[in-house]
Amino acid sequence: MGFFNNAEEMERKAKLKTLEDKRVAFAQHLARIGFAPEKMLFAQTDNGGFVSLCRFEGQYCLIVSPGFGADDDFVLERYDTLNYRAEQVHVASEGMGGIFGFGKKAETGVQYIITRADGSEITMPFVGGRNGWLETSLAKNPLLKTQRRRGDANVVWDLMPLDRTAVSRALKVVANYFPEG
């Protein structure tokens, strides 16, 4: 048995295939209902999925993906007003700041906690050293493509890593998606 043919790798590939099947079905559903926002903002979550936000037809649209290997489905929620709060995040580095695997890198940024219709909350983090993000146009949106992507790719792989130097630039873009208030 080869290095890439072990049981864990086969399970990972099966999870990727399932996730891509769910994404394609969701993209086809969105195409049927005419959902086509010009721009969309993505943020990677701790469970291996993402939260996406956009404005479409005068509403805020929140899309939540399942976490990697989770049984959940993609969800689209529409809101006339967006109820959220922003929290600053700063975690100091420890040890050697992650150099050579020793200690922990510093994390800095903002996380937006959005209150959903059922009263639960979901976090959309933009924290350097922790997660990835992406603002994309309709033509390049990896979520809305109705064909299968090559190799059962995960949408999260398209997100850019958010390092400390990119946080301020990212937060300027993010501010366009969240209403003042």
pLDDT, averaged per 10 consecutive residues of the chain (181 residues), comes to 72 88 94 96 92 96 91 94 93 63 70 95 92 93 87 82 85 89 55
Q: CA–CA separation, 97 vs 113, rounded Å?
A: 27
Residue 119 lies in a domain: no
Residue 46 lies in a domain: yes
Domain of residue 33, residue span: 7-83+128-174
pLDDT for position 108: 85
pLDDT for position 154: 81
Residue 1 lies in a domain: no
Residue 104 lies in a domain: no
Residue 47 lies in a domain: yes
Distances in whole angstroms, Cα of residue 97 to Cα of each of 94, 156, 166, 167: 5, 25, 18, 18
Residue 116 lies in a domain: no
The predicted model scores a pTM of 0.87
pLDDT for position 92: 76
pLDDT for position 2: 53
Residue 109 lies in a domain: no
Q: Per the structure, how many domains does the chain have?
A: 1
Of residues 116, 156, 150, 119, the one with CA closest to residue 134: 156
pLDDT for position 101: 55
Indicate the SS3 state at residue 31. Answer: helix
How many other C-beta atoms can be found within 10 angstroms of the C-beta atom of residue 77?
15
**DSSP string across 126-151:** EEETT-EEEEEEGGG-TTT--SPPTT
